[in-house]
Amino acid sequence: MIGLEDRRSLAREIEHARAAGARLDRACAVAGISARTLQRWQVDDGLVTGDRRPEALRPVPAHALSAHERSAVLQVANEPRFADLPPARIVPMLADEGTYLASESTFARILREHGQAQHRGRAKAPRKTRPPTTHVRRARVRRSYSHAIGLCKV
pLDDT tens digits along 63-122? 999 999 999 999 999 999 998 888 999 999 999 999 999 999 999 999 999 988 776 666
- Over the stretch 18-39, which tens digit does the pLDDT of each residue have? 999 999 999 999 999 999 988 8
Residue 146 three-state SS: helix
Contacts of 10 (CB under 8 A, 6+ apart): 2, 31, 33, 38
Contacts of 54 (CB under 8 A, 6+ apart): 1
From the CA atom positions of the chain, what is the Rg in Å?
34
- Report the 3 state secondary structure along 22-84: CCHHHHHHHHCCCHHHHHHHHHCCCCCCCCCHHHCCCCCCCCCCCHHHHHHHHHHHCCCCCCC
pTM here is: 0.50
Residue-level pLDDT at 151? 57
Question: Within a 10 A sphere around the Cβ of 121, how many other Cβ atoms?
Answer: 10
Question: Within a 10 A sphere around the Cβ of 106, how many other Cβ atoms?
Answer: 17
Output b/e per residue, 28-54; b: 16+ Cβ within 10 A.
beebebeeebbeebeeeebbeebeeee
Each domain of the chain, given as residue ranges in start order, spans: 4-53, 67-113
